[in-house]
Amino acid sequence: MKLILKPLETQVVVITGATSGIGLVTARRAAAKRARLVLASRNEGALKFLADEINDAGGEAVHAVADVANEEDVRRIAATARQRFGAFDTWVNNAGVSIYGNLTDVSLVDHRRLFETNYWGVVHGSLVAVEHLRQRGGALINIGSALSDRAIPVQGAYCASKHAVKGFTDALRMELEHEEIPISVTLIKPAAIDTPYKDHAKNYLTVEPQNPPPVYAPEVVAEAILYCAENPERDVFVGAGGKGISVAGHYAPEITDKVMEWTMFGLQQTDEPARNPEHNALYQPSGPYAERGGYEGHVSESSLYTKASLHPLIAGGLLLAGAGLAYFAFRESGNGHHAPNQELAERTS
């Protein structure tokens, strides 16, 4: 069967981690594009609120309370999709959580729990999605990170889990392609995003954590996700900052290590005393259920790099057009400079 992804307005889209940050923005934007939605997270109250919001606005959404660390919960998400809509076309594995602190300080229990959500949640969702989509085709979109390629200090457990997600996703893609199963498998790799991410994380630091710049809006990630629901893409960096970290780590790993050591400890810490470390979403749902995290620095509302990577022909056309305008401007400028000299030569000849 040939891989063909349907227009979003005809799709049923499953989104895990749908009640906060990237998942919340993606759900609202997908609803605005007339996709039918299956929303999943651990918090039933937030899910009902979001589903009611979408349905009251004329959309179609159903919710399933699920902890992605539990395979049976994930199977219940798929069952909810089949019961309400008969099938689904795109599955987005978005649920995730982080831990701030040196690896030597993080308990093994917490480390394992993070992997249960970030890695095993993706495994459960991917295998359930493939089981359903192998006959009808569709898109599987896993949310990794720029840190899937390049680790940073202070969030070592998170980096390790996202490296694992990348390895799993890349291997699964090859296996499905080898079997000619019509499923597009995409890894989205966001840079730092202004979401409640740090508020949900467990914090071992003595101060409140923060995102290292550059920081992008969650809408930039949502647009990349929805683009990949309609267009097969292998992987997508969201934000040039994330791509830069990956490239630096690949071509100059030791220099990048040193730069990270000099900068990343300070850039991820504020001057505010740490709140109660038990206020986190590692083991149970935790607010705020919001799109943004209130980052105090500059937040980029778009990424020219990401747009160019997803639309290379348009980007190439714009570059050629820009080069053409620059050329004609240069010629015009040159003609203007030579005209007075020509007139002077004619008058003196």
Which 8-state DSSP code applies to residue 81?
H
Strands 269-273 and 207-209, sheet pairing: antiparallel
| Rounded-to-integer distance, Cα 178 and Cα 201, Å | 38
**pLDDT value of position 339:** 44
Which of 119, 158, 216, 295 is the catalytic position?
A: 158
**Better-predicted residue by pLDDT, 264 or 286:** 264
**Better-predicted residue by pLDDT, 199 or 328:** 199
**Residue 171: CB atoms within 10 Å:** 11
**pLDDT value of position 334:** 57
Confirm if 194 and 218 have CB atoms less than 8 A apart: yes
Tell me the average pLDDT of the chain. Answer: 91
295 flagged as catalytic: no
Give exposure, 196-205, as e/b (b: 16+ Cβ within 10 Å).
Answer: bbbbbbbbbb
Task: Please write down the long-range contacts of 103-112, taking CB distance under 8 Å and 24 or more positions apart.
Answer: 103/156, 103/157, 105/204, 106/156, 106/157, 106/204, 110/157, 110/202, 110/282, 111/157
Instruction: Read off the pTM.
Output: 0.89
Q: What is the pLDDT of residues 53-71, one digit of tens each?
A: 999 999 999 999 999 999 9
| Rounded-to-integer distance, Cα 89 and Cα 253, Å | 39
Rounded average pLDDT over 207-219: 97
| Rounded-to-integer distance, Cα 157 and Cα 177, Å | 31
**Residue 1: CB atoms within 10 Å:** 11
Rounded average pLDDT over 196-215: 96
Q: What is the pLDDT of residues 301-347, one digit of tens each?
A: 999 999 999 987 655 554 444 445 544 555 655 555 444 444 434 44
Beta partners for 13?
A: 37, 90
**pLDDT value of position 136:** 94
Position of tokens 């943004």? 292
Beta partners for 41?
A: 65
With a pLDDT cut of 70, the percent of the chain lying above it is: 89
> Is pLDDT at 37 greater than 60 in this prediction?
yes
> Is pLDDT at 22 greater than 90 in this prediction?
yes
**Better-predicted residue by pLDDT, 138 or 2:** 138
Give exposure, 253-278, as e/b (b: 16+ Cβ within 10 Å).
Answer: eeebeeebeeebeeebbeeeebeeee
Q: What is the pLDDT of residues 235-267, one digit of tens each?
A: 999 999 999 999 999 999 999 999 999 999 999
Beta partners for 138?
A: 183
Rounded average pLDDT over 109-129: 98
> Is pLDDT at 349 greater than 70 in this prediction?
no
| Rounded-to-integer distance, Cα 48 and Cα 163, Å | 33
